[in-house]
Copies of this chain bind each other. A is one copy, B any other.
Amino acid sequence: MEYFTCISLKEAKQLLMNALAGRIVASEPVSLDEAFERIAAEDIVSKEDLPPFSRSTVDGFAVRSADTFGASEGVPALFDIVSEVAMGQETCVQLQPGQAVTIPTGGMLPAGADAVVMLEHAERPDNNSLLVLKAAAPGENVVLKGEDISKGHCILRQGQQILPQDIGALAACGFEKVPVRRKPNVAIISTGDELVNVACTPVNGQVRDINSYALAAMLAEAGCLVRRYGIVQDQYEELRTAVSQAILQSDLVVISGGSSVGARDHTVKVIQELGNQDVLFHGMAVKPGKPTIFGMIGKVPVFGLPGHPVAAMTVCGQIVKPAVQALLGQKSGNVYTIPARLTRNMASVPGRDDFIRVRLVKKANEYRAEPILGKSGLISTMAMADGIVHIPADKGGLYSEEIVQVNLITKP
């Protein structure tokens, strides 16, 4: 299977998105304590003004700012202190010209007041009098009603991932429950006669099942409930039985491929027979990741991933994660990358999307991206990497000293 017989990554993504259009999983309400990192199922709109009243941001004296204009240390403005606002209590004072009330940080501004004079800009000759030593501007040391979040403001967009600061905004507006997308159930089936469980010591050419663990972690991170279905042999009937069961319990199925041509043929045949239609693609012009298979079995997207760990993880990031986002109705949002200077030429092939692993090294004021060479069968090359650089299909390679954009695979 040469690259020219494969479809491009762009075409593959388009076929995938078409197949998944309208297949967003159901929503469920969760408590605010459980909403972190979930995907909003609706626009969440504030039903009230925040703050619901104008309040002071300092300890001081609420005044009508106009009464302070012209005040200075030499010529202070004189006020009558007519009341005291206590924290957490409403005030029914209506401030008249020349009047002030003491107010704590967070206290509710009385009607008529539009500024708060800080303690250090005032003197209090007696309990009922106040000398203001500095003019206060309208709105000074005050948060106005609705200044933080106004009634009708959209706090959270449908499809947005909920972060700590969003949790804060939801709490502020009184949302105890939040409608989020149910976590997609994902089945991972490993195939390959050479595979043995992690607990086993491989003998006679066997290797341990790496991919189902690494892919499970990637898909859990993407917001899925992942179930590993264990290892099935490279036999058509066994794979068909496992996939039949998996599609009943899952929103998405990943077959972590045997590397052999036979295993791939079984995957294609199972998808065709159970799905009652041809696979949507079989082979992408992507390195690593060429032997990727995708088809639908009823409503369930089924992926056949390459057997080599680096290829499997690359395709999971490029193809399976976007499918999960589509199921979640997740807005992909901005993808932030780290600019870095490439340390050597990297050849590619026009018409093929290449993904190279790089180590990031900070040098002076910039990062240098050192490509990690090595076969896609070597998990260590992935474990050593800090990020991935994409060489798009329309480029024949990248030059040493060129600035490239690095997609982090470590935590920022």
Q: Which residues of B contact A42 (CB under 8 A)?
A: none
Please give the number of chain A residues whose Cβ is less than 8 angstroms from any Cβ of chain B in the complex.
103
CA distance A33 to B212 in the complex (A): 10
Say whether chain A's binding surface is mostly helix, strand, loop, or mixed. Answer: loop
Q: Which residues of B contact A258 (CB under 8 A)?
A: 87
CB 8 Å contact bits of A312-353 with B (1 = contact, 0 = none): 010000000000000000000111111100000000000000
Stretch at the interface among A11-19, A64-72, A102-110, A389-397: A102-110
Q: Which residues of B contact A20 (CB under 8 A)?
A: none
Partner of A260, one of B105, B149, B172, B409: B105
Partner of A261, one of B50, B59, B161: B59
For the complex, is A363 an interface residue (Cβ under 8 Å from B)?
no
For the complex, is A299 an interface residue (Cβ under 8 Å from B)?
no
Q: Which residues of B contact A192 (CB under 8 A)?
A: 87-88, 106
Does the CB pair B377–A57 fall under 8 Å?
A: yes
Stretch at the interface among A125-133, A199-207, A238-246: A199-207
Partner of A148, one of B91, B217, B380: B380
For the complex, is A8 an interface residue (Cβ under 8 Å from B)?
no
Does the CB pair A176–B199 fall under 8 Å?
A: yes
For the complex, is A370 an interface residue (Cβ under 8 Å from B)?
no
Most chain B CB atoms below 10 A, which of A165, A166, A203, A307: A165
Does the CB pair B89–A205 fall under 8 Å?
A: yes
Does the CB pair A90–B205 fall under 8 Å?
A: yes
For the complex, is A194 an interface residue (Cβ under 8 Å from B)?
yes
Nearest 10 CB-CB pairings of A with B: A90-B204, A168-B214, A108-B205, A88-B194, A164-B217, A36-B217, A165-B382, A171-B213, A88-B193, A336-B412
Q: Which A residues form the contact surface with B (CB < 8 A)?
A: 32-33, 36-37, 50-53, 55, 57, 59, 85-91, 104-108, 143, 147-149, 153, 155, 161, 163-176, 192-195, 198-211, 213-218, 220-221, 228, 234, 258-261, 307, 309, 313, 333-339, 360, 362, 375, 377-380, 382-383, 385-386, 407-412
